[in-house]
A and B are shown apart, each in its own frame.
Chain A
Amino acid sequence: MTISKSFLLNLYIFFRKNGFNVKLHDYLLLYQTVHSNIFKDIYKKKNINTLKRLCKSLWVKYYEDEIIFEMLFDSFNNQKTNEFINNENNINTNLKNNLKNNLESNITNENIETIHIKKNKKFPETIQYSNDNFSNEVLPEKIHYSDDNFFNNEKQKPKAQLLFSKPKYHYSLHCRPPDLEEDMYFPATRDEMRQYTQNIKLEVSIYNTKRLDINNTIKNIHDNGGKLIKFVFKNDFELSSNLIFIDKSRSMSPFDMQSEWLLTSLIMNGCIIKSNIYIFDNDMINKLYRYNNQSNNLKINELISCYKYKNNKAIIFSDAGASRGSLNAKRIRNTQFFIKQLKSAGFSIVWLNPLPEDHWYIASADLIKNYVPMFDLSVNGLKKAIMILS
C-alpha cells in the first residue's frame, strides 16, 4: 500500500476543519515520517492502522484528544480512504507545490492562517469542501473549496465543529457540541480556556482570593467570551475600628520594608487585631486606596462617614516631608484637614515617622507634629504610640 501525499494533506485539512488542535509542523512531521524509512522501520507494515498509530503519536497532545482523534480518523477513513489512497493525482500538482512551499516557508510560524492559497489554483473536482454546507452530522459527498482565500480570511475561517451525532463528552475540548444552542455554547476553544485559566490563576494569586466574587467573575467571563476578563470583587468591606494609613509616595520608597515590618509586627503582636489598611500617594484627602485592592480609591470624607461610634484608632506611617527636608504649605494644610476629619470621627491618632526626630527640623513634619502625636520608628517611639492608642 502506498499512502499518497494528498491523503495526508486532506487528512490534515479534515482534522483542522473539525477543530482538532493540529498545527502545520505536525502535518510536516507526519509527512516526513511517512515518506522516510522511519515509518517502515518502526511500524514494519504500511497500512491504515499503522498510519493511524503514527498519526496519533504525532498529533495527539492531550489524553482527552485521543477519543476525538480516534473518531475523526475513523470518520475520515471510512468515507475517504477509497478516494484518496493510491490516487496520487487527486490534487493538482500546482496546488501541492504551492502549498508545500508555503508550508516550508511558514514552518516556524505555526499558523495555518498565514497560508494563502491563490485564486488560480485548481482543486480536484472530487474533493470539495464547502464552509457553508459543512454538516454537523455527516460528511457531504462532494466537498469543494468554495473560498479562494480559504484560510486567509478571518471571517471565512471555518468554525470548529464536530461531525458526530453524540459528542456529549466533548464540552471541554476544542470542538463545539452540535446539539447545543448557539447562546449556550461557551464561546472559547479549549486552548483559549486554558490560557484564561492561567490568567485567572495569576490574577487570583495577586488579589486577595477571599474578596474575589467567583460567581460574578465567571458570569462576566461568560458574557464577554473570556476575552476581556474583568474581576469582580465582593462588596464585603468589613469596617474596622482600627485604621492604618501608609504613605507610599516616592520619598517613602526607602522605607517600604519598614512599613511592611511595622504592619507585620503590629498585627502579629496583637496590638491591632483587625485593621483596615489604606495607602496613599501625596493626596491623602482624595485618594486613599485599600492595601489589597488598589483598583478603586475613596476620599477621607467617605471613609469617615462610615464611622458612627467613638473609640477608633488610627496610625499614620509617613515621613511627613522630612525626607525632602522642606516645608510644603499645601501638604501641611491637607494633613491638617485629614487629621481634623479623623478626630471628628472619634479617632485616637498617632503618627509614626520612619526618620529620626532630628531630621524633622525645618520640614513639614516639624509643623505637623503640633497637630498629631508624632513618634519616630524606634522601640521608645512605638511604646509611646501604643500607650496613646491604648
Chain B
Amino acid sequence: MENLQYTGKRQPTPQEKVKDGILPYIPDELLIEAVNLSIVLQRPLLLMGEPGCGKTMLSHHVAFELGLNLYSYSVRSSSNLNEDIYTYDALMRLHDAELVRQKIKTDEKDLKKVNDSKNYIKYSELGKGFFTPQDSVILIDEIDKADIDFSDDLLGMLEKKPFYIKELNGVKKIKGNKIVFITSNKEKDLSDAFLRRCIFHYIHFPQNEHLYTIMKAHFPDVNEAIIKIIIKFFNKIRNKDLEKKPSTSEFIDWLRVLTACHTDDEIIDILGNDETIKYSGTLFKKKNDLDK
C-alpha cells in the first residue's frame, strides 16, 4: 500500500472519457494530502461538502489513477449492513435440492453444490469490495441517509475485522488493502465512534484559480478568456443571497450548455445581460432562487 500514492495529476484521455465514463477531476492540495493520509493510515476518508462539490467523483478518479477496481455502494434509508453485504438464495438452494431429489440433476457436482451453502451466497457491491483479495477502492455514498446503526455496524468492516456470515456459520476475512471513501451530506450526525475511525475532509468551493483549472480540464477547447469571464460572472451569482448556491457541478453543466449552444460572442452578450440569466435551470434548483 505504501507504493500507492494519489497525485491527482493523471487525467483521462478523450478515449478513456468515452470508454470508462471518467471525467477530469482536479483536486486541491489539501484533498490530495487527505487521500494519501487515508491510504497510508488505512482509514476511511469521510468527505463532506455542499452537493455537487465532487465528493463522489473523487473515488472514481482515485480508482482510475491508481488502476484499482471501484466498488460503489449507495446507502438507502432502509440500509441494513448484513442484508447489504450479501444475500442468501435459500429458494434457489431448495429448487436445486428438489431437482437433485427427483434425479433431474444427477451430476455429482450438482449434489456438491446443493450441500454447500457457500454456493448460494451472493455478495453485493459492498461485499465484493471488502472481500475481494485485490486492493480496491470502495465508495459508500451518502451514509447519512441510513439510520445511525448502519454506520456503527460498519465499524467492524472498516477496521478489517472478520465478518460473520450465519449461513456459513463462519467468518469471512477482509483481504487486501481498501481505500474507503464515505460521503455525507450531513443530514444526520454520525457517532463519535465512527468519526474516530475516519479521516475527515470538507471539500470547499474552489478558489478562482482552482476553478479555472477545473473548467479548463473539462473544456479544453473553450477560449481561456471566456472561461475567466464566465467564472467572474458565476462568482457574482454565488455571492447573491441564495437558498442553494450553485456548486461546481452545476457550473460545469451551465458552461457545457453555454459553450455547446453559443459562440464566444454570443456568450459575452448573454453575460452582459444582467436582467436574465440564460439556462438558469441548470444553476438554480429552488423557485425563490430562480425568481431572484
Q: C-beta contact mask, A28-62 vs B, less than 8 Å → 1, else 0?
A: 01000100001001110000000001100110111
* B2, closest chain A residue (CB): A41
Cβ-based interface call for B192 (8 A)? yes
Tally of contacts, chain A with chain B, CB under 8 A: 48
**Is B271 positioned at the interface, with any CB of A under 8 Å from its CB?**
no
Judge whether A61 and B33 touch: CB under 8 Å. no
Closest to A44 in B: B33
Residues of chain B contacted by A110 (CB below 8 angstroms): 196
Size class of the contact patch on chain A: 20 to 34
Interface residue B189 (Cβ < 8 Å from any Cβ of A): yes
Q: In the complex, A54→B38 CA distance in Å?
A: 11
Q: Are B199 and A58 in contact (CB under 8 A)?
A: yes
Contact with A along B119-161 (1 / 0, CB 8 A): 0000000000000000000000000000010000000000000
User: Does B234 sit within 8 A of A, measured CB to CB?
Assistant: no
Q: Are B48 and A42 in contact (CB under 8 A)?
A: no
Residue B222 at the chain A interface, CB threshold 8 Å: no
Closest to B195 in A: A61
Which B residues from 174 to 217 make CB contacts under 8 A with A? 186, 189, 192, 195-196, 198-202
> CB within 8 Å of A: which of B23-43?
30, 33-34, 36-37, 40-41
User: Which residues 161-203 in A have Cβ within 8 Å of B in the complex?
Assistant: 191, 194, 197-198
With known contacts A60-B200, A61-B195, A62-B200, A43–B41 Cβ distance under 8 A = no
Q: How many residues of chain B get a CB closer than 8 Å to chain A's CBs?
A: 21
**Is A33 touching B196 in the complex (CB atoms < 8 A)?**
no
The docked-state distance in angstroms from the alpha carbon of A25 to that of B197 is: 10
Task: List chain A residues, Cβ under 8 A from B48.
Answer: 63
- Interface positions of A from 4 to 43, Cβ below 8 Å from B: 21, 23, 25-26, 29, 33, 38, 41-43
Given contacts A33-B41, A63-B48, A198-B148, contact A53 B33 (CB under 8 A): yes
In the assembled complex, 9 residue pairs joining A and B whose CB atoms fall closer than 8 Å, in A order, are A25-B196, A29-B41, A38-B40, A38-B41, A57-B37, A57-B199, A58-B37, A61-B196, A110-B196
CB–CB A42/B196 < 8 A? no
Q: Which of A25, A57, A197 contacts B33 (CB 8 A)?
A: A57
Query: Does chain B have a CB within 8 A of A113?
Result: no
Q: Which of B2, B37, B189 contacts A194 (CB 8 A)?
A: B189
B82: CB under 8 A from chain A? Answer: no
Q: Which residues of A contact B (CB under 8 A)?
A: 21, 23, 25-26, 29, 33, 38, 41-43, 53-54, 57-58, 60-63, 66, 110, 191, 194, 197-198
The complex places the Cα of A72 from the Cα of B41 at a distance, in Å, of 25
Query: Contact: A42 with B195, CB < 8 Å?
Result: no
Q: Which residues of B contact A23 (CB under 8 A)?
A: 196
Interface of A, helix, strand, loop or mixed by DSSP: helix
Say yes or no for B5: interface residue by CB 8 A criterion.
Answer: yes
The 9 closest A-B pairs by CB, nearest first: A61-B195, A42-B36, A63-B202, A38-B40, A61-B200, A194-B189, A57-B34, A57-B37, A57-B199
Additional pairs, 12, CB under 8 Å, beyond known A53-B30, A57-B201, A191-B192: A21-B192, A41-B36, A41-B40, A42-B33, A42-B37, A53-B33, A54-B37, A57-B34, A58-B199, A60-B200, A110-B196, A194-B189
Could you tell me the distance between the alpha carbons of A167 and B148 in the complex, rounded to whole angstroms? 31
The interface bits of chain B over 239-262 (1 if a CB of A lies within 8 angstroms of the residue's CB, else 0) are 000000000000000000000000
**Nearest-Cβ distance from residue B30 to partner chain A, whole angstroms:** 6
Query: Could you say which residues of chain A place their CB within 8 Å of the CB of B37?
Result: 33, 38, 42, 54, 57-58
A33 and B51 alpha carbons, distance in the complex (Å)? 31
Tell me how far the C-beta of A299 lies from the nearest C-beta in chain B, rounded to whole angstroms: 41
A41 and B196 form a contact (CB under 8 A) = no
Q: Kindly list chain A residues whose C-beta atoms are within 8 Å of the C-beta of B200.
A: 57, 60-62
Most buried by A among B2, B192, B201: B192
Q: Which residue of A has the minimal Cβ distance to B37?
A: A57
How near does chain B come to A113, taking the closest CB pair, in angstroms? 15
CB-nearest residue of chain B to A26: B196
The chain B residue with its CB closest to the CB of A32 is: B41
Chain B residues with Cβ under 8 A from A63's Cβ?
48, 186, 202
Task: Give the Cβ gap from A31 to chain B, nearest Cβ, in Å.
Answer: 13
Which residues in A have their C-beta under 8 angstroms from that of B33?
42-43, 53-54, 57
A191→B189 CA distance, assembly (Å): 10
Of all chain B residues, which has the CB nearest A56?
A: B30
A61 touches B198 (CB 8 A): yes
Complex CA distance for A15 and B56, rounded to whole angstroms: 32
B32 to chain A minimum Cβ distance, whole angstroms, is 9
A61: shortest Cβ distance to chain B, in Å? 4
Q: Which residues of A contact B199 (CB under 8 A)?
A: 57-58
Set of chain A residues within 8 Å of B5, measured between Cβ atoms: 41
Q: How far is the CA of A43 from the CA of B5 in the complex (A)?
A: 12
Chain A residues with CB under 8 Å of B41's CB are 29, 33, 38
For residue B75, give the distance in angstroms from its CB to the closest CB of chain A: 18
Q: Which residue of A lies closest to B199 (CB)?
A: A57
CA A33 to CA B34, docked complex, whole Å = 13
Bound together, the chains give a CA A57 to CA B201 distance in angstroms of 7
Chain B residue, CB-CB nearest to A62: B200
Residue of A42, A110, A194 most packed against chain B (CB within 10 A): A42
What is the CB-to-nearest-CB distance from B60 to chain A, in angstroms, rounded to a whole number? 22
Asked if B40 and A198 make an inter-chain contact with CB atoms under 8 angstroms apart, the answer reads no
Task: List chain A residues, Cβ under 8 A from B186.
Answer: 63
Tell me how far the C-beta of A205 lies from the nearest C-beta in chain B, rounded to whole angstroms.
11
**A62 vs B48: C-alpha distance when bound (angstroms):** 9
Instruction: Tell me the smallest distance from the CB of B186 to a CB of chain A, in Å.
Output: 8
A66 to B200: give the CA distance in the assembly, Å.
10
B201 to chain A, nearest CB (A): 7
Query: What separation, in Å, do the CA atoms of A365 and B48 have in the docked complex?
Result: 64
